[in-house]
Structure 1
Amino acid sequence: MADSTSSMPVGTTGAGGGNVLRITGLNTGLDIDAMVKKMLTADQTKVDNAKQQQQLIQWKQEAYQSIIKDVKDLQSAYFDVTNSSNYLLSSGNYNNMTATSSDATLASAKASTTAVPGTYKIQVNKLAQSATITGGTISSQVQVTSKNPESSFNSSDWQGKDISFDIGGSKYTITLDDTTFSDLNDVVSNINKKIGLDSNLNGKVSASFISINNGDSDVSTGDYIKFNSLTSTNIKIVNDTTEDSNGEIHKTSVSKLSSLYNKSIINTSLNTKLTDLGTGLDENIVLNLKYNGTSKSINLNNTNGTATVSDLVAAIKNATGGAVTGKFDDMTGKFILQTTATGSISNLSIEGESDNGTSGTNLLNSLNMSVTSAQGSDAVVNITQPGSSTSTTLTESSNNFTVNGVSYSITGTTTADSPVNISVTQDTSKVHDLITNFIDKYNNLVGEIQDKLSEKKDYDYSPLTDSQKSSMSDTDITNWENKAKEGILSNDDNLEQLLNDLTSAFTTPVVDSSGKSVSTLYFGSIGSNSIGIDTSNDYSQGGKLSITDDQKFTDALTNHADDIMKLFTTTSDSTDPAAKFNQSGIFQRINDIVNSNVGIIGTTLNSGTLTKYANLQDDYSVSGGSGTGTLPDQIYTQQLLINTLTDRMNDDQTKYYNQFTQLETAMEQLNAQQSTLSMYLS
């Protein structure tokens, strides 16, 4: 092995390296560089020892960081709430029942552990409705035909008829073709064709066809025609006898458009200013509502005139806490108020003015609404359970409800001869695989930590000095350092505590606040109520898990899913750490232990025991020793020592060379005297 005292270069001649160029030994004939190097042996040894100690700490930090990474891998795989399919704390992952719908567009379901396997038939007679108040059309559109009451399209209402527009005071008329139109969509196409042929109208106005089908019970169901303004200029559909500049009288001869006469064509949307819908709205607007027994005043400050329909929607939601919502329907051109709650227990009313002036009335007029009230309605369904030939009629206030362990979500009505079939089946393979995969990953982590704790240290292998590395190959250096790293975490207190806590999480009974077991099942392999999973009795295994009786484990998942959930996922609200641990489910304990050691998911620098010890530097003092003893603190303190020892060695080196310089000077003087004496004697 190379000399360990030469890893720090000293000031020598140019051939010797170093920071100072010295020419020594000319008068004495001494190898001063070699002598100084030998004299610095003690100093160099101290520096090398300090560096070796720092290297050991850095290796320990790297070993810690590797374990932290693997702990976080386990954490992200099984304790990340966003990873729902593998989240061990989700009760849904222990549910061995699945429900499949024959038509999920009408009805879907989820089955809990208490559901009976089999086929359920559900007939949806009526959906639950919220209390809804719908205003009249506030955009430039009109309903032409409806399905309730029944009305048909008549081509004669349109063929050959005139439609007159007022644009900025000038009036222009189009005449539809005198032909038979097949439907309203055909009429709209002809209107747009005629507008396109008129240079005064082209690019300024257009028509759209809208067909709405909300069910036969909805009076808004039917066909609409909507006029759209394509310019900022005020445009109206007119029906008067005023002569234009050419002496012509313009009059719209389509009676179906009479509700739009002399109204400005506005493309109403959520971004439309309220002041564009009506007058008297450039002030503090107050709308009084009453819903489900609660009265609220909706206040919207519009003194600057910039508030929009969207601002009104937000004000309604905020004032009622979301219990009432407002919306504008682009298709019908109507503003709608409705309760979030459904069923006959929900009600909503627009109340009259109190002492708030006329702003509420002005708003209602602009929205084409009035003081009125509405009540919600219940859902009515018939459900036939497995093994039964008769159905049971249920009245529910919501479209989402649970009956006998099956949670239904209905979105459409069905007929008596076409019910939706909900098939409920039992399957334990998912949860079995989930826990089995967790055990494998958990055992790998425990095995890694246990190996590090029991690894023996070979004291014949210490970190290499720079001088030692200079005489070795890269392969030899790597092999040597691998041996030197062995046992770096042997009997580490933090890791010992982590393993003990993890083992206790499984072996400590899960109880409630009174000390009684929360589940009829218990962790272990002995006894009829054990789940067939146990920890290893071999201390060298570090408490690894194994499924000792797969049949017993499968039976527990199949027949006692609720008890499995309680055993693994029970949470505690106790503030006492010991009580919280005892009252928490096994996987809840594991989650808490992992969080306390490496921090919650998504954090890097945190107060977790392992993370803080490996990564957090508290000590930034000039002299060191003021931190909490973390590995970064130790590395920092050791670096301060290295700097001090290096400075001291440099000072000694300078001192030694100065002394030898004095010797050289004395020898030079002696040589000069001898030369002079010799000259006189000769």
Structure 2
Amino acid sequence: MSTMRIGGLASGMDIDSIVEKLMVAERMPMDKLEQQKQIYEWQRDAYRDVNKKMTTLDTYIADNFILKSLNTKTATSSNSDLVSAVATGSASGSLSIEKVSKLAEAARGIGNKVDGVTGDTKLSSLFGSAKDMPQEFTLQAINTQGKMGEIVSIRIDEKTTVSEFINKINGSNAGVTALFENGQLSITAKNTGQAVEEDGKTPTDAMITDGNGKLLFEKLGLNNLVTKPGQNAEFQVNGILTERTTNAFSINGYNITLKAEFSEPSVTMTSSTNVDEIMTKVKEFVATYNGFITDLIAQTKQPKYRDYQPLTELQKKEMDTKDIENWETRAKSGLLRNDSIITSGLSSLRGLVYQTNHAVTNQKYNALYTIGIGTSKDYNSGGTLEIDETKLRKALEEDPDAVVQLLTMSGEKSASVTKVDGSTGTGDTRGFMRKIRDELDVIEKKIDERAGRGSMAETQYTLGKYLKNVNSRLDDWKTKLVSIEDRYWKQFTAMETMINKANSQSASLSNMFYS
């Protein structure tokens, strides 16, 4: 612990070895502190690992059941060559497209052929002087909503060729596509339809340029940027005449794509719930949830090997790698055994399964057991779920919306509800999976209070405070052990000095008597 010393020259004793062994005994209180520190660190990491698993489960639920609709539906079109449809989870009833008088088309400008001009022709050569050629121009076109997009500025110079000019337009965010082929220039809006009225102003052309752009396009034979205006799709749906700027749009939960003009017969879209897909999603959720619950239960029931304390550095030096691994496996076992945060959290999660949701429109399916989902009959499983597939399928076929509500509806934690018997009260109207997410959040916050997060200071969580205290005591012990070792060396040095002095006196006496 201190600088290297050499002793035993007078006594012949291995002073270094003696001091080292004495210090092993002196270090015992410090070793216990270091072992306690290691246990705190292992516990902290074990808690944080639980939080990571909860975050993974929460993200899985959000991605697959909250952000996406569980109620997947399939749409059928009576004539998909004329109109195709995709049903979203909100699709309901049928939708009839009686006729399509116009399909949406993009605005386009087609110029006259300019003889002698190719892609390699420099734009400046089309002007009397390079000084007369504009160095910058603007373009603007409609966006997907039919409103005029941002005005985009495009710069060129006297070295810019026609091909480079076209590439600059196509590489910009102007919302147009340009083409120069066989001496002709064509510019087409990327989005279909007419420009819609904005702020009470009369709609303009779907593509606009400034004076500089007009001058440049005229040199390439395009005297008017728009020679064929864009048009909206015009059609009749469920007896109502309407229009859209595109041929693909959403209406009544259906994503519709108009493919051709027609007048009769009408095209009808219907939707049906994809029961098999919902069954698959629910089974996947149950398997994922059960894996999470089983993992946590296993951690709370891990055996605790009290004889296997964390190894000190000195102990590790006397063991091989495999033995160290085996020892630490047992030393880490049971870190979260019977942990109150996890066991109470598991109990709360298990309790959610038995709750009734009176906000479900069909009260026949207002609890998980009514749709065939319940906890395992083995109480030691900790609340893993089991599915009665026959019962779940029957519920989905009879009222899929009620099943989806029971599992995923937003609702409120404490809302006014009317029960089946007609009485009123308050209850949790959130779907089962939303309740799980809320309970995971509660457990996670409790673990944060105890084990913190990587971004938190030690003083912000319980185990961090313990570690801070242990580290402070370790620092004190390190200083103390240095003093103790120095004291031992001083004592042995004094002994060596006395022995050396005695040896000198003995030698002197010897010389006096035998000289």
Q: TM-score, normalised by structure 2?
A: 0.70
The amino acid of 2:7's aligned partner reads: I
Q: 1:523 aligns with which of 367, 380, 394?
A: 367
Matches within 5 A, 1:359-398: 379-381=234-236, 393-398=239-244
Q: Rate the CA distance shift 1:305–1:427 in 2: closer, same or farther, 3 A.
A: closer
**Corresponding residue of 1:584:** 430
Q: 1:673 aligns with which of 500, 505, 509?
A: 505
Question: Partners of 1:681 and 1:496 in 2: how far apart?
Answer: 87
**Corresponding residue of 2:194:** 338
Question: Partners of 1:581 and 1:628 in 2: how far apart?
Answer: 35
C-alpha distance after superposition, 1:131-175 (max 9, x if no partner): x9x79x6x7527xxxxxxxxxxxxxxxxxxxxxx9xxxxxxxxxx
How many angstroms does 1:60 deviate by? 2.2
Q: Rate the CA distance shift 1:73–1:674 in 2: closer, same or farther, 3 A.
A: same
The amino acid of 1:338's aligned partner reads: Q
1:232 aligns with 2:110: no
How many angstroms does 1:676 deviate by? 3.0
**Corresponding residue of 1:125:** 100
Q: Rate the CA distance shift 1:232–1:46 in 2: closer, same or farther, 3 A.
A: same
The amino acid of 1:437's aligned partner reads: E
C-alpha distance after superposition, 1:224-259 (max 9, x if no partner): xxxx964412359xxxxxxxxxxxxxxxxxxxxxxx
C-alpha distance after superposition, 1:30-69 (max 9, x if no partner): 5544543454344210121122112222322443344344
**Corresponding residue of 1:44:** 27
1:348 aligns with 2:198: no
**Corresponding residue of 1:557:** 396
C-alpha distance after superposition, 1:193-231 (max 9, x if no partner): xx4xxxxxxxxx249xxxxxxxxxxxxxxxxxxxx9644
1:489 aligns with 2:344: no
Question: Partners of 1:348 and 1:31 in 2: how far apart?
Answer: 103
CA contact (8 A) 2:410 2:430 kept: yes
Question: Partners of 1:550 and 1:457 in 2: how far apart?
Answer: 40
Q: Rate the CA distance shift 1:552–1:650 in 2: closer, same or farther, 3 A.
A: same
Contiguous gaps of at least 5 residues in structure 1: 1-9, 12-18, 81-86, 143-164, 166-190, 196-204, 208-227, 237-264, 278-291, 310-316, 318-324, 352-359, 383-391, 600-606, 620-626
Question: Partners of 2:73 and 2:150 in 1: how far apart?
Answer: 51
Question: Partners of 1:609 and 1:537 in 2: how far apart?
Answer: 33
Q: Rate the CA distance shift 1:536–1:46 in 2: closer, same or farther, 3 A.
A: same
How many angstroms does 1:74 deviate by? 2.9
1:24 aligns with 2:8: yes
C-alpha distance after superposition, 1:176-207 (max 9, x if no partner): xxxxxxxxxxxxxxx6xxx4xxxxxxxxx249
**Corresponding residue of 2:346:** 499
Task: Decide which structure has the larger Cα Rg and report it.
Answer: 1
CA contact (8 A) 2:193 2:231 kept: no
Question: Partners of 1:375 and 1:105 in 2: how far apart?
Answer: 21
The amino acid of 1:477's aligned partner reads: I
CA contact (8 A) 2:96 2:269 kept: yes
C-alpha distance after superposition, 1:327-386 (max 9, x if no partner): 6876655899933589xxx993469xxxxxxxx99799979789xxx998773347xxxx
**Corresponding residue of 1:466:** 313
Matches within 5 A, 1:156-555: 195=116, 205-206=117-118, 230-234=122-126, 273=137, 332=186, 338-340=194-196, 348-349=202-203, 379-381=234-236, 393-398=239-244, 400=249, 402=251, 407=254, 409-415=256-262, 424-510=271-357, 516=359, 520=363, 521-525=365-369, 530-536=370-376, 538-547=378-387, 549-555=388-394
Q: Rate the CA distance shift 1:100–1:299 in 2: closer, same or farther, 3 A.
A: closer
Question: Partners of 1:611 and 1:272 in 2: how far apart?
Answer: 63
SS for the counterpart of 1:431 is: helix
1:566 aligns with 2:421: no
**Corresponding residue of 1:644:** 476
How many angstroms does 1:449 deviate by? 0.7
CA contact (8 A) 1:44 1:649 kept: yes
SS for the counterpart of 2:428 is: helix
SS for the counterpart of 2:65 is: coil
Q: Return the structure number with greater strand share.
A: 1
Q: Rate the CA distance shift 1:47–1:488 in 2: closer, same or farther, 3 A.
A: same
The amino acid of 2:496's aligned partner reads: E
**Corresponding residue of 2:488:** 656
Q: Rate the CA distance shift 1:401–1:334 in 2: closer, same or farther, 3 A.
A: closer
Q: TM-score, normalised by structure 1?
A: 0.55
Q: Rate the CA distance shift 1:544–1:580 in 2: closer, same or farther, 3 A.
A: farther
SS for the counterpart of 1:443 is: helix
The amino acid of 1:557's aligned partner reads: L
SS for the counterpart of 1:126 is: strand
**Corresponding residue of 1:59:** 42
SS for the counterpart of 1:648 is: helix
CA contact (8 A) 1:326 1:337 kept: no
Question: Partners of 2:312 and 2:241 in 1: how far apart?
Answer: 84
Identity %: 19
Question: Partners of 2:439 and 2:27 in 1: how far apart?
Answer: 45
Question: Partners of 2:426 and 2:466 in 1: how far apart?
Answer: 35
The amino acid of 1:522's aligned partner reads: N
Q: Return the structure number with greater helix share.
A: 2
Question: Partners of 1:363 and 1:580 in 2: how far apart?
Answer: 69
How many angstroms does 1:467 deviate by? 3.3
SS for the counterpart of 2:254 is: strand
The amino acid of 1:348's aligned partner reads: T
The amino acid of 1:532's aligned partner reads: G
